[in-house]
Structure 1
Amino acid sequence: MPLGLQTNFLDLIDQAVSALDTACSSPATYSQVQRLTTLLTTLLYYHHTARKAVPLTPLQQTAAELQRYKDDLKSRSNRSEHVTIKSFSKLSQNAQNLIGSMLALETREMLDDFSHLDLSKKSQFEALKRAVDRAQDQVAQSQGRPPLEYLDQFCKDITEFARDDLKIDVKVRNHHKGEPVTDFEHMLVIGFRIVDTAISYHGIVKRYHKAIKR
């Protein structure tokens, strides 16, 4: 496993165990941690095996760029520093054009260029975030979602684990901010992030409900 992938996966495992501890209202037991990490490791194994030697398509590359850009938006504390020309310029032309077109939709064509943004204004910063969300959704719809049976199985297994072992709420809902709220939703999102870093929370909710019905 490449070092970058290993580090990222360990970070996800740490986040998942933290959510598990919160769900248990105390440190989770060894068997509970083992069960959760086994589910996530199994998911990673099947995903890695399925993708081995398969190059990313242009759409997948754009999707990955958009997710990194979205993460950058969230990583800074000051709106005026959230996104710089430098970070935006690192995106491919496809990603830049897509964000620009979505920004025009969000602002009713008052803004369609990153350089016209005044990030010190909360309304414009929020419009940019929504534009990135829209861009992600459009890419996701364009590339479609492959029928990943192992992801469907993960959804069912983690639901059973949370419901029967942890005795916690396993309802998965869309939320206003487009982020997970409950401990179960957090654990579920981490699993999906292993498979697809670019999928939005709305996409996860939709995919989850389809998976558990199959």
Structure 2
Amino acid sequence: MMLEKVKLVFCISIVLTATSCWHEDGAIHHVGHQTINEQLNARSVDSIQYAISSEEYLKDLDKVKVDGIHGEVYIPNRSNHLNSFPCSSCHTKPLNELGNLNSENSKKAHWNIKLQHAEAEVMNCITCHNDSNLDQLRSLTGREINVNHSYKLCSQCHATQHKGWQGGAHGKRLGGWAPPRIINSCVNCHNPHSPAFESRWPARLNTVKLIEQTAD
């Protein structure tokens, strides 16, 4: 009989713990009216009250809100910092007509750009640039993409890196981890025409300093 009473009290305590919360005054406040999703959301990362914020980094930043990531995530505005944007300011005629305007010996527009991103059979200029609206980028399916949201274009082929970028494992964070998040976009670190970083020799090891430190 005693064992059964203990089991009964134990079961009642579990139910109270699951549906109620105790306060310092000893009163029990039921939260059973909350759905499971509401209770889970209340315990989510976004509900954490951070002692600091990244707002101070946003004050003077020309920023754009990122699409497709939960919460407030921003990247630097790109279109306002491109010297030759909007493209339509120069591209007032079709590309073939503009190409014929220059003599054979003169340098044409964008002459210094060398596409070193993929093989020529896989990628050329109009793979990413919209030849019918040069102020917009173009997805592989022909959908227009705003220049500031070029990460949507990159994610089509670089899905693994994009997933890491969304979570914060890939890319450079401009503010802290506290919301709102401020991060660099793909093109802030990579040249879209030649995205691979050049090989570099590692920094020279200061053996003299190392000997001094180990001698102690």
Q: Which has the higher strand share?
A: 2
TM over 0.5: no
Give the alignment's TM-score, normalised by structure 2.
Answer: 0.26
* Greater RCO structure (CA 8 Å; 6+ sep): 1
